[in-house]
Amino acid sequence: MDQVRIIEVKQSVFADNDKRAAELRRELKERGIFLLNLMSAPGSGKTTTLKRTVELLKDEIKIGVMEADIDSDVDARAMAAAGVKSIQLHTGGMCHLDADMTRQGLDELIDGDVELAILENVGNLVCPAEFDTGAVKNAAILSVPEGDDKPLKYPLMFQVCDVVLVNKIDVAPYFDFDLEKCKEYVRMRNPAARVIPICAKTGEGVDQWADWLREQVREWRS
């Protein structure tokens, strides 16, 4: 009769992905490619913010965009129309990208001349935060209609972010949105995160965000 063997593993389920993400980051450093992982809830303005960002930076930095969605290619078309190289990744029903999926996307996106690769993750404040994509920096967008309490409700997302863009700031007077409270909630989760209020539609504050990103890319590639 076969005997049952017990193999002690004691390993986090995320350990393997974390390792692959670290490998990807190392390779990106060698190749001089900055990867930004942009996360947010659906409808917070990721694509509109990206279009603005690309307008400001595309003449000085070679940009490529990966659009991750469960289905459709509307975002990739929008980015292509904005004049940047873009590809659409389909996650096949999954709510996030992991390091291997990101690598596959990068292999397709990069043909040697991309300096800044931007991953627009699946719209979701929970799952994308759990899986390290291999990105150099993580950014989250929180839009005013979502409410200033989101950093309390989705703590991990705000813990893993280097920068939080508070989008649709132009409509703040019409919502019960307190920017100072929001900043305080982000600080409670992540004292190092930078908070930048923007309005992707009018362009307000986007310069500041572009300055931050430009500086990060320069540092990474130097």
Partner 1 sequence: MHELGIVFHIIKSVEAVAADNELEKVSAVVLELGEVSGVVPDYLTDCWRWAAAKSELVSGSELKIETLPAVTHCDHCGRDYPTVAHGKTCPHCGCGDTWLLTGNEVNIKEIEAY
> Which residues of this protein are in contact with partner 1, per CB under 8 A?
2-17, 93-96, 98, 126-127, 130-131, 152, 156, 188
Calculate the alpha carbon distances from 192 to 11, 94, 106, 143, 186 in Å.
28, 30, 28, 20, 9
With H, G, I as helix, E, B as strand and everything else as coil, classify residue 81. helix
Task: Give the residue with the Cβ less far from partner 1, 5 or 173.
Answer: 5
The minimum distance between CB 173 and partner 1, in angstroms, equals 28
Categorise residue 181: left if φ over 0, alpha if ψ from -120 to 50, beta otherwise: alpha
Task: Give the residue with the Cβ less far from partner 1, 156 or 179.
Answer: 156
Length of the chain, in residues: 222
Dist CA 184 CA 150 (whole Å) = 12
The minimum distance between CB 126 and partner 1, in angstroms, equals 7
Evaluate whether 138 touches 162 at the Cβ level (below 8 Å): yes
The minimum distance between CB 74 and partner 1, in angstroms, equals 22
Tokens 């990103």: give the residue: 213
Task: Give the residue with the Cβ less far from partner 1, 185 or 209.
Answer: 185
- Can you say whether the dihedral through the CA atoms of 94, 96, 100, 106 is positive or negative? positive
The minimum distance between CB 13 and partner 1, in angstroms, equals 4
Calculate the alpha carbon distances from 10 to 3, 18, 20, 72 in Å.
22, 15, 19, 39
Task: Give the residue with the Cβ less far from partner 1, 56 or 95.
Answer: 95
The minimum distance between CB 8 and partner 1, in angstroms, equals 5
The minimum distance between CB 45 and partner 1, in angstroms, equals 23
Task: Give the residue with the Cβ less far from partner 1, 28 or 101.
Answer: 101
Task: Give the residue with the Cβ less far from partner 1, 93 or 112.
Answer: 93
Evaluate whether 197 touches 179 at the Cβ level (below 8 Å): yes
